[in-house]
Structure 1
């Protein structure tokens, strides 16, 4: 499976082409739209979320609700584009026509300056429009399709926010609690006990013209052992997942299982002892490694955490330089969120779904969805006999 996205943040639409989804798979459009709604939620989002009401439109690759096996084309209309018709016009303009809302003062922490250098843009809006996190809506559409495919294999993904700013949920939860409580509140903590404190922190941060980051977690239940491979570096499942997560805007680190805490532990504390029973075959009582050994799934739930830096667009902007005059200025202001960690947890969940689907479709190559299900389930039963 492969996919491409196209579109600018304030352009007419976001377009996605997904290739490699097996034929005859039922696509539930309502479920895709529900995932888009989840992405748009979360306390601390900016005003734009009141403008955009994302609904997917499928223009190719699906007929009568079933995939054809050919590329699937999906679109998301940018409702805010009506306010940007002249600014984001694809058509040539008169040399004397003034272009409004140009960006000459790059924002530290964004792609503005380096992107302008790379593509020789003198109006940095050409960079920020594409580098905007608005593009992740298109990836959620792809991930939503992948989640529907994975569900047919009895694989399910859940996500939560572990930390916003210095407020951290240290509690341990069962897979069932992830499933039942992941959308319990607008900060996506699994417990309501943190809501008031986090709301207050976000409000104070926004009032101060600053922003917040945090840690998100994705748990995957139902995976069989052996997905991924130790035979080549680029076939390792954890490497593939990390690659996909690190492509998300503002994400700066990934860990699996006990992750960076392992630096404080002995080897005897980190490994997960193996046991066996006739009903389920090989299994483990602990999951310090987060469901991965040697670059492969081991049958335990995947546990993945990732850190998102505070959003670099600040309402009290940092020092910058005008790229035209080379004079010092404060960085340009753009509409932004003060905290997007809850929304980012949804994006992370969908990027993990994409990574898993890519690997599974590579290992169980099938042109048609029922062939895929049959191939996967046969191998799932065989594994129990090993």
Structure 2
């Protein structure tokens, strides 16, 4: 299973093509629209979210509300396009486009690197595609992947564990399920499970906004009821934890990923890191703890997957940083584009869907997937075999 996206931030639409879905999988447009709406919420979002109201258009691959096995093509309209037609259409007049030409790179963005790499004197050709607007298409892909996972009884949820200087304690998954995490985080404007930390997060977001500054944070994704053995130990590029880490860091503004206790493992002794193996008639092999976040040797253990990602503060500031004009080489205060001052709550939704995609992809690699009923049958057969191993 794979996908490609196309489209610019101020172009007419985002386009998504997904290949490799099994046929006869129940397919819900409403579930995709729900994920797109979740991505647009969250305390600290900017004015773009007041313009867009994302809904997906199904172009191919679905009939009678089920997949056919053919590639699925989806589109998400950019409502802001009407204000940018003369600048962004394929046959734009160069003189017209000059009015909105970008020659001043913004620190922290792809502007300058992309312009040098691709030879653009108008950096709009970089910033339009490098915009986080593209994550709407990635969330749509994840929403499709979630329908694959739900078909096999696998649930995904996310929440925010840090915004700026405010952080929550690690949750004990023995007291939480993916369902309860989802319910609690959806009820919070910052997607935080801790009411006290939630209010403190809102305060620091407000303070940063007053100062013309921005905040980053840390999000956590939990995947429940994952079969044992997704991924592989035999090659670096088949290790599922590595693939998930790459996917997390590929999200706009994300600068790091960790599995389970992650970097904290470097501070502990081995006896405080590794998960002891237990066996029971009811559960078969399982772990006494889940410090390694559901992975050993690049493969899933059957315990919940726990993945964290760190998002840097958004680089578009209302107290601009210094930069250099690519034409005059003169210094200037970086221009201000419409932006959020904190997008961490929304980023947790993006991370959730990115992880869902990687897990669903690994699931379809491991089990027969020409038809949805074959996929479910193979997963259930495997689960029964694991219990009796």
**Aligned residue number for residue 273 of structure 1:** 276
**2:276·2:287 contact (CA, 8 Å) conserved in 1?**
yes
Question: 1:193 offset after TM fit, Å?
Answer: 2.0
The total of aligned residue pairs comes to: 385
**1:159·1:349 contact (CA, 8 Å) conserved in 2?**
yes
Q: Deviations over 1:291-344 (max 9, x none)?
A: 100100001111111100001111111110000111111112111000000000
Question: 1:290 offset after TM fit, Å?
Answer: 0.7
Separation in 2, partners of 1:98, 1:12: 16
Question: Helix, strand or coil: the match of 2:90?
Answer: coil
Question: Helix, strand or coil: the match of 1:346?
Answer: helix
Question: 1:96 offset after TM fit, Å?
Answer: 4.3
Once the two structures are superposed, the pairs formed by residues 191-340 of structure 1 within 5 Å of their partners are 191-340=194-343
**Aligned residue number for residue 18 of structure 1:** 18
Separation in 2, partners of 1:23, 1:340: 36
Bigger drift between 339-348 and 237-246 goes to 237-246
Separation in 2, partners of 1:226, 1:200: 43
TM-score, length-scaled by structure 2: 0.97
Question: 1:180 offset after TM fit, Å?
Answer: 2.9
**Aligned residue number for residue 154 of structure 1:** 153
Separation in 2, partners of 1:171, 1:350: 21
Q: Deviations over 1:135-186 (max 9, x none)?
A: 0000100100100110111110010000000000115243334143121211
Separation in 2, partners of 1:311, 1:89: 28
**Aligned residue number for residue 140 of structure 1:** 139
**Aligned residue number for residue 359 of structure 1:** 362
Separation in 2, partners of 1:195, 1:274: 36
Task: Please report the RMSD computed on the Cα atoms of aligned residues, expressed in angstroms.
Answer: 1.1
Question: Helix, strand or coil: the match of 1:245?
Answer: helix
Bigger drift between 312-321 and 192-201 goes to 192-201
Unaligned residue ranges in structure 2 (runs of 5+): none
Q: Deviations over 1:225-250 (max 9, x none)?
A: 11111011111110011111111001
Question: Helix, strand or coil: the match of 2:16?
Answer: strand
Separation in 2, partners of 1:348, 1:289: 19
Separation in 1, partners of 2:92, 2:202: 46
**Aligned residue number for residue 75 of structure 1:** 75
**Aligned residue number for residue 45 of structure 1:** 45
**Aligned residue number for residue 176 of structure 2:** 175
Unaligned residue ranges in structure 1 (runs of 5+): none
Separation in 2, partners of 1:139, 1:310: 21
Question: Helix, strand or coil: the match of 1:272?
Answer: coil
Separation in 2, partners of 1:6, 1:48: 19
Once the two structures are superposed, the pairs formed by residues 82-161 of structure 1 within 5 Å of their partners are 82-93=82-93, 95-97=94-96, 99-161=98-160
Question: 1:100 offset after TM fit, Å?
Answer: 2.4
Question: 1:98 offset after TM fit, Å?
Answer: 5.5
Question: 1:264 offset after TM fit, Å?
Answer: 1.2
Question: Helix, strand or coil: the match of 1:8?
Answer: coil
**1:116·1:124 contact (CA, 8 Å) conserved in 2?**
yes
Separation in 1, partners of 2:80, 2:297: 46
Once the two structures are superposed, the pairs formed by residues 59-70 of structure 1 within 5 Å of their partners are 59-70=59-70
Question: Helix, strand or coil: the match of 1:313?
Answer: coil
TM-score, length-scaled by structure 1: 0.98
Question: 1:196 offset after TM fit, Å?
Answer: 2.7
**1:105·1:330 contact (CA, 8 Å) conserved in 2?**
no
**2:14·2:137 contact (CA, 8 Å) conserved in 1?**
yes
**Aligned residue number for residue 380 of structure 2:** 377
Separation in 1, partners of 2:95, 2:314: 36
